[in-house]
Amino acid sequence: MKKLFKRDKSELDLNNLPQHVAIIMDGNGRWAQKRGLMRSAGHLQGSNRFRSAAKYFQRIGIKYFTVYAFSTDNWKRPKEEVDGIFELLEKYLYESIDDMKSDNIVLNFWGDLSRLSPKLLKLIGETDELSLKNDGMHVNVCLNYGGRAEILRAAKSFAADCREGKLTPDALTEEEFESRLYSANTPPPDLLIRPGGETRISNFLLWQLAYTEMVFTDVLWPDLTDDKLEKILIDYQHRNRRYGGI
């Protein structure tokens, strides 16, 4: 008689992965300050951790990875820090063009991009063109993004169509509304991870997180290694997602 072996509960089950993981990349500045470094050094380390996490998720089979890179409120930070963040983004985009070709990555940007520099917008345009040719893992970067602003944008879009006679108010359904969000055609996150010790979602994906499992950890984002991410995924796999049922 064939023996049946149960999976070790400490092992990651690659057949039971979340389809979509979202991360609020928090703690870069504090990571640097703890080491007596400039905050910019923390953002550099955080950028490197993002790229490593994306490669790890792609390797194990995660289909969608969304990160909160820069919120609409982050403009309140010192200009030097903001400029440094966007310089890192430019560097990432230059390097990601080759990665997108070799790794079949679809790179999307969610948010109000109107405040970005012409140089950044040009680079984003190039990655958009490359993404049309790819069908692999989707990496969504929320940039100058706010959840409330996204919902208002979708509501105004629907209202405009009603005003122009294209639709009536009765046509508004969840599906119709979702089609007007930045995340249209993307399943909602199964898992949200927030490092850095804060236990709030900070205006991130307010519509999309309705039934998302959440993990908050004191580990700062640059220190959230692949091994630690694996432990979080294992924890997720032992949760019972009931979606309001029993």
Please list the active-site residues: 26, 74
Cα dihedral 199→208→48→55 (10° resolution): 130
Buried/exposed 181-208: b ≥16 CB within 10 Å, e otherwise:
bbbeebebbbbbbbbbeeeebebbbebb
| Alpha-carbon gap, residue 68 to 84, rounded angstroms | 17
| Alpha-carbon gap, residue 169 to 163, rounded angstroms | 10
